[in-house]
Amino acid sequence: MDDKRVDRIFFGPETAKSLKQDIRVLTKLLSVIDNEFERKICEHVLKGKRFLFEQEKCLQEKRK
């Protein structure tokens, strides 16, 4: 049994559409979390808790 057939057996078109929407929402959420994580790292870098080259990178990002 190939994968496409398995998808058709277990998931109808509405379920597949719903799953695609769920994936989009989760992808956006991960993007927000990633951005927040990078911001927190930059805050720590700017407080002197990381290496100097990372400080410069964060300062450049902050200027944008």
**What's the pLDDT at 1?**
46
3 state SS of 64 = coil
- Determine the Cα angle at 46 with ends 44 and 48, to 5°: 75
Calpha distance 63→56 (Å, rounded): 11
**50: DSSP letter:** S
- Quick one: tokens of 23? 């994936």
Calpha distance 45→41 (Å, rounded): 6
Are residues 21 and 30 in contact, defined by beta-carbon separation less than 8 angstroms?
A: no
What is the pLDDT tens value at each position of the chain, 64 positions in all? 455 555 555 666 777 788 888 899 999 989 888 888 888 877 776 676 555 566 667 777 767 6
